[in-house]
Amino acid sequence: MAERTEAPAGDGLPKGFRSAELGWPELHRIPHPPHRLPLLGDVLGVSRRTPMQDSLRYARQLGPIFRRRVFGKEFVFVWGAGLAADLADESRFAKHVGVGVANLRPVAGDGLFTAYNHEPNWQLAHDVLAPGFSREAMAGYHPMMLDVADRLTAHWDRAVAAGRPVDVPGDMTKLTLETIARTGFGHDFGSFERSRPHPFVTAMVGTLTYAQRLNTVPAPLTPWLLRGASRRNKADIAHLNRTVDDVVRARRGARGKGDLLDRMLETAHPATGERLSAENVRRQVITFLVAGHETTSGALSFALHYLSRHPGIAARARAEVDRVWGDAAVPAYEQVAKLRYVRRVLDESLRLWPTAPAFAREARADTVLADTHPMRRGAWALVLTPMLHRDPAVWGPDAERFDPDRFDAKAVRTRAPHAFKPFGTGARACIGRQFALHEATLVLGLLLRRYELRPDPGYRLRVTERLTLMPEGLRLRLERRAPGDAAPAPVAEEAVPSDPRCPVHGTGD
C-alpha cells in the first residue's frame, strides 16, 4: 500500500500525502476548475486514464498556477515559467516525494528515485553511483548500446523485407530495456527474440499503472475498489523482486564487469567507507531497470513520430548524420555528441512531450512563492512540465509547433533559465540524463542513416499515461536507404568541449 498518512519524517517534515490546505495559507487566491462537486471535487469531464492530459486542459483554462481537488485531496499545479524558476531555487525548495512517486515506494523503497530527502541511503547511493554516469563510464557503455541497436535494426530489416509496419513504442521499449539491462547489469532479457513483452516489462507496466490508479481512487475505498488490482500488483512486485534477485545472485561471486551492478555490490562510499545493503541493492536495481528505460523509450518514440511527420527536418537530420559519420561502419563514441541537430530534434520532442511529465517541489521553510503565494514549510506543488515547455511567455505564440531550431545554441543562451526541465531540477535531477541522451541520439542517428520513415497518414497522435507518457499505437513503415545515399566523407565538426563537471548536477539544467 502507498503511504498515505502523515507521519513526521527524520527531518521533521511530514511525509506521505499532504493536502494543499495544510500548507498554502492563501489557497483561496489560487484558481480551481468551476463546477466543483461536494466530496468528489474537480472530477467532471476527467478520465482516470489521462490525469496528466486533464491537468493540461485545466492549465490552459486556469493559468500558470491552479489547484485541483480529487476525493478530498487538494493539489497545487504550477507551470508558469517564472513560478517554476522560483521553485528551482534549491536553497528554498527540494524534491517532494508525493503522489505518483510515493505510490512507487512499495516497489522501489528508498532507491534513488523514491527516497525521501532525509533518508541516508539517498546520498550514499548517489555518491556511489554518480561515477557510473561519467564520460568515461559512458564511453564504456557505447559498444554495448551499439550491440543492442544492431538487434533493433535486424528486427526492423525483417519487417521491411516482409512489408510490415513497425511497432515504434513496443520496439523502443525492447531497445531501451535491453540497453539498461546490458550496460547496467550485464543481463540479457532477450526482448527481440520474444513475440510478447518480457514478463518483467508486463510486471513493471502493471506496477506503474497501479501506482497511477492509486491517485484517482479515494484512499478509504482502495481496499474495495482496487482489491483485484492490488492482488495483481503484489504479484507484479514479487515478480520484479525475483527477477532482480536472480540477476544479483548470478553476479555475486562472478568476475566484475565494472558496470552499475558492480558499483552497487563492490564500491564503498569514498568518504565514509559505507556500502549499500543487500535490500538497498535490490531497490536500486529495480529503480534503474524501470527509470532507465521507460522514459527514454517514450522520448525516442515521440522523436520518431515527429521525424516521420516532418520530412524536411528528417532530411536535415539525416544529412548531418551522413556528414558527421561519413562511411564509418559504426559511429565512435565521440561522433554521437557531434550530432547537434539530431540532439535538437530530441530536445524539441522532450519539450512537447517530456516523458516524465511532472515533478514535485516542497518548501524547505516557510516562504513566499514568486513573492506572491505564501507557503508553509513542507507545502508542495507539482510542476507540469509539458505546460512549462509551452509557456508562450518563453516559447512564443507558436509554442505548439515542432521546431528543433528552438534549441540552437543562440536560442538556448538567450532563453530564461529553468524553462526546459525534462530531467527535473536540482540535487534530485535525473542521474541518467547523459546516458539517455547518448543512447537516444545514437539510436536516432543509426535509424535515420538506415531508413526513410513513412507515417500512416490516418494516424493522429494519442498519448497513453502510466506515470510516464508514450505515443499510443504509433506504427511506421520504413524503406531501407541505398548504401550510396549516404555522403562519403566526414567533415570536421566544431569540437565538443569535455565536461569536467558532475555528470548529474553540472549539466542538470
467 binds ligand HEM (CB under 6 A): no
Identify the residue among 422, 445, 503, 508 touching ligand HEM (CB under 6 A). Answer: 422
CB of 431 to ligand HEM, least distance (A): 5
Q: Which listed residue (402, 423, 435, 441) is catalytic?
A: 423
Is 464 tagged catalytic? no
Is 502 tagged catalytic? no
E strands along 48-184, which residues? 65-70, 73-78, 93-95, 166-167
Strands 73-78 and 380-384: parallel
387 binds ligand HEM (CB under 6 A): no
Q: Which listed residue (200, 296, 430, 468) is catalytic?
A: 430
33 binds ligand HEM (CB under 6 A): no
Give the phi and the psi of residue 452 in degrees, each rounded to 5. Answer: -90, 140
How far, CA to CA in Å, does 148 sit from each of 171, 173, 188? 11, 12, 10
CB of 32 to ligand HEM, least distance (A): 24
282 and 241 in contact (C-beta within 8 Å)?
yes
430 binds ligand HEM (CB under 6 A): yes
Cell of 460: 493522429
| 502 assigned ligand-binding residue | no
CB of 138 to ligand HEM, least distance (A): 11
Cα separation of 408 and 420, whole Å? 14
Helices (H), 252-333: 260-266, 278-291, 294-309, 311-325
For ligand HEM, the closer of residues 27 and 133 by Cβ is 133
Report helix, strand or coil for 175. helix
Identify the residue among 126, 257, 269, 480 touching ligand HEM (CB under 6 A). Answer: 126
* Number of helices (H), then strands (E), in the chain: 20, 14
Among candidate residues 423, 468, 417, the one with its CA nearest the CA of residue 211: 468
CB of 207 to ligand HEM, least distance (A): 16
Name the segment binding ligand HEM (CB under 6 A); options: 50-58, 164-172, 209-217, 289-297: 289-297
323 and 148 in contact (C-beta within 8 Å)?
no
287 binds ligand HEM (CB under 6 A): yes
Identify the residue among 359, 380, 402, 407 touching ligand HEM (CB under 6 A). Answer: 359
CB of 508 to ligand HEM, least distance (A): 9
How far from each other are the two terminal CA atoms of the chain, in whole angstroms? 34
CB of 428 to ligand HEM, least distance (A): 4
- Give the CB-side neighbour count of residue 394, counting CA atoms within 13 A: 25
Identify the residue among 27, 62, 87, 291 touching ligand HEM (CB under 6 A). Answer: 291
Q: What residues from 38 to 97 belong to the interface with ligand HEM (CB under 6 A)?
A: 95
Give the phi and the psi of residue 185 in degrees, each rounded to 5. Answer: -135, 10
Q: Which listed residue (114, 179, 287, 295) is catalytic?
A: 295
Contact partners, residue 406, CB within 8 Å, separation at least 6: 344, 347, 348, 351, 395
113 binds ligand HEM (CB under 6 A): yes
Report helix, strand or coil for 487. coil
424 binds ligand HEM (CB under 6 A): yes
Name the segment binding ligand HEM (CB under 6 A); options: 8-16, 229-237, 351-359, 400-408: 351-359
295 binds ligand HEM (CB under 6 A): yes
CB of 128 to ligand HEM, least distance (A): 12
431 binds ligand HEM (CB under 6 A): yes
463 and 470 in contact (C-beta within 8 Å)?
yes
CB of 440 to ligand HEM, least distance (A): 7
Cα separation of 389 and 422, whole Å? 9
Dihedral sign for Cα 495, 501, 507, 509, please: negative
Name the segment binding ligand HEM (CB under 6 A); options: 77-85, 161-169, 229-237, 425-433: 425-433
For ligand HEM, the closer of residues 32 and 282 by Cβ is 282
Residue in this structure with the C-alpha cell 478520465, named with its chain if needed: 47
Cell of 26: 492563501
Query: What x-and-dash track marks residues 305-344 binding ligand HEM by CB under 6 A?
Result: ----------------------------------------
Is 295 tagged catalytic? yes
Identify the residue among 121, 296, 308, 349 touching ligand HEM (CB under 6 A). Answer: 296
124 binds ligand HEM (CB under 6 A): no
How far, CA to CA in Å, does 217 sit from each of 22, 226, 238, 341, 366? 21, 8, 23, 44, 31
Q: How many CB atoms lie within 10 A of CB 239?
A: 17
Cell of 184: 547496467
347 and 361 in contact (C-beta within 8 Å)?
no
Q: What residues from 162 to 201 belong to the interface with ligand HEM (CB under 6 A)?
A: 180
Name the segment binding ligand HEM (CB under 6 A); options: 16-24, 200-208, 212-220, 294-302: 294-302
Closest residue to ligand HEM, judged by C-beta, is 432
Cα separation of 421 and 77, whole Å? 15
Count, residues near ligand HEM per rule CB under 6 A: 27
Residues forming the site for ligand HEM (CB under 6 A):
95, 101, 112-113, 126, 180, 287-288, 291-292, 295-296, 299, 354-356, 359, 422-424, 428-432, 435-436
What is the set of active-site residues? 295, 423, 430
Would you list which residues are annotated within the binding site for heme?
Answer: 430
